[in-house]
Amino acid sequence: MPTYRAPRRDIQFVMHEVLEMAQHYQSIPGGEDVDADMIDAIMEEGAKFAENVLAPLNASGDAEGCTWHEGTVTTPSGFKEAYSQFVAAGWPSLAHHPELGGQGLPESLGTMLNELSGTANWAWSMYPGLSHGAMNTLQEHGTEAQKQTYLLPLVEGRWTGTMCLTESHCGTDLGLLRTKAEPQDDGSYKITGTKIFISAGEHDMAENIVHIVLARLPDAPAGTKGISLFIVPKVNVNDDGSLDQRNGVNCGTIEEKMGIHGNATCVMNFDGAKGYLIGPPNKGLNCMFTFMNTARIGTAVQGLCAAEGSFQGALEYAKERLQMRALNGPVAPEKPADPIIVHPDVRRMLLTQKAFAEGGRMLVYYAAQLNDTANRGADPEAKKEAEMLLALLTPIAKAFMTETGVESANLGIQCFGGHGFIREYGMEQLVRDARISTIYEGTTGIQALDLLGRKVLMTQGETLRAFTKQIHRFCKAHAEDADMQEFVAPLAKLNKEWGDYTMQIGMKAMKNRDEVGAAAVDYLMYAGYITNAFLFAKAAKAAQRALAAETTEADFYQAKLFTARFYFARLLPRAGAHMAAMLSGADNLQDLAAEHFAF
């Protein structure tokens, strides 16, 4: 199994030099005292917990898995104890309001910790990770009484949370859901129905689980306009906050899955369970987007974790594994063969993983920075811009990073050859765990429709322009910088084309709406490659500044420049293929009659 080592120096580079987080925190209420030293201290403690507590449980948790018995779920050995340490250290409360027991620190610090715990042990990290979505939903839409009852123990980590959306006949089409909510005389609701694919829906790590559930009121209109949102606790709560009797919600079974065996994916049966309305009636899906957007950024982190974890394992192996000689002559003549890291194709795979890990880290931390400003910023104009940028980048981060995370995990197996296909080395677990990431919280296709259809075309391109203007300003600022031309020139060209090609698709979609669906996934991947190019250009400039200042870490910064050049030369050209595909039209997909798909 790969030995996880937190990428401390690279996290510092992104936080301090690319995104200048300490300066950013000065504009965020609650972040005024967060300087570079505090960021590093929080990272170091999170890294120790990830390396020493979570990583050793990763392979054993996968092998043991969760077990179900008569409605109860037991997590793998060590998971419960690790969660107790996590709570005792105060990690659940890091980014929540002090009046509700939180430490009040910016949420982007939590994203950094999510990377550390997620790369060390993704299945374990999902238990507290989903609680953050529940907390954000309650904070945004709950009544004061609901916050006092449910938010405080969630912030403390004594309870955990889930999101209960889909049903067996629904999939992504939540307008088809059938779960019912019947009003009761005491103001509560009786919730009846079955939800599937509920991550962490039942477990033994916390004393209560707060389910956030979509259901229909008796007089609700059909479709998504008739969905309401409810709090349904596993154990009912008395007025004084103490636990009462078990509620009418039970785990019917846990799914036998391809990966993330250490996390319980549950079928949850609501048999007249007592629930409480969150937000306005029939506006549940609107409220649930608070949870879903939190979860989508969280899932983007999984793409980063897959790339980073697989890269670490493959790099260590490539330095040690001896096989064949370098094409230009022996590199290690004293040995029977050269280490495989000398071979160009192995380097291609390693550098692809490295670029996707480092690019993904910049993207998800940038999204977290925008989230800080959107939620806590004091400047109304800055908040508005951050909201627009975050709306655009959320589907890109979720889908692009998980697709490239799966690619990176597969490359890890390829670097190992046959040894990667067996369990002993742990690389195949990364593939199995990562594969779900492109599916849950909205598939790549759903994210792509959200990006192109809702975020770009339905805003007449306003959301896209908010981002392309940022890229334009960066390119203009460095237009006369000779050292930056290898990055700025292609980036500026792509940035202009992005708007032009979007307009072409929009014009075609006015005549045929299938043009949006036909172009969407390629459009999202095209957008992802350009977005990462922007961030690698910023990283290159940061590296150049450090080298010009005669840093003592010249090798580190030269490697940053090398990775940026590799990305622009080897990975960014993929945007051209996606461009050609997205502009090719819907006819090459839609004109074949369904009956002619037969073989």
Task: Quote the CA–CA distance of 573 and 567 in Å, as a whole number.
Answer: 9
3-state secondary structure 284-298: HHHHHHHHHHHHHHH
The SS3 of residue 228 is strand
Is 263 in contact with 123 (CB distance < 8 Å)? yes
Is 400 in contact with 524 (CB distance < 8 Å)? yes
Residue 369: CB atoms within 10 A of its CB come to 24
- What is the radius of gyration, based on Cα positions, of the chain? 24
> Across-strand partners of 271?
192
Residue 597 has phi, psi (to 5 degrees) of -75, -15
3-state secondary structure 295-349: HHHHHHHHHHHHHHHHHHHHHHHHHHCECCCCCCCCCCCCCCCCEHHHCHHHHHH
- The torsion defined by the Cα of 192, 198, 201 and 202, in degrees rounded to 10, comes to 100
The SS3 of residue 157 is coil
Residue 578: CB atoms within 10 A of its CB come to 20
Query: Which amino acid, residue 126?
Result: M
Distances, alpha carbon 279 to alpha carbons 138, 205, 380, 486, 530, in Å:
9, 29, 24, 51, 38
Structure tokens at 178: 């059938």
Q: What is the set of active-site residues? A: 441
Is 336 in contact with 330 (CB distance < 8 Å)? no
